[in-house]
Structure 1
Amino acid sequence: NRFMDGFQDSISVIFHFHYRWSKKNQVGRNGFAVQEHLEIIDAILRQDQGAATAALERHLETAHQTFLASLQRD
C-alpha cells in the first residue's frame, strides 16, 4: 500500500531526528510538543481545517527551531 510505505518513511525520519536531538531540556520540549499535538488534534476533531493547518505549521516550526538549536550545541 503506497500510503503505508510513505507513512513508514515519514515515521522513520521523525524517529531519526528525535534520536539526534540533544537530551538537554527534553522534558520541557516533550511537554510543549504534547501541547502542540493536542491543539492539532482538537482542531481536527472540531473539523476546523484552517486551525489544524495553522497548529501543524506552528508545531513544525517549533520542531525545526529546536532541532537546529540542538545541532548547534554538538
Structure 2
Amino acid sequence: MQADLAGPYTPIFEVPNMAKAVTIKVKLVSTADTGFYYVAKKNSRTMTDKLVKKKYDPVARKHVEFKESKIK
C-alpha cells in the first residue's frame, strides 16, 4: 500500500527566528590619508572599542595605523 502524498505539507511546529550574527565587517582606513583600506571582521560583543591595527599601506609603501570606520 502507498501512503497518501496528495495533500499539502502542513508543518507541525514553527521554526523560531534566527539569532543575529555576532561578527560584523568593518573598514580599516589608513591614517596616511592615501584612501587605501582593508576589510576585517570583528566580534562586536567582545571588542566594543574601535579597532586599530598597524598594517602595510602599499600606496604609502610603509606600515601605518589603520583605524576602524563603518562600511557604507
Instruction: State the TM-score, normalizing by the size of structure 1.
Output: 0.18
Query: Greater CA radius of gyration, 1 or 2?
Result: 2
Which is strand-richer, 1 or 2? 2
Which is helix-richer, 1 or 2? 1
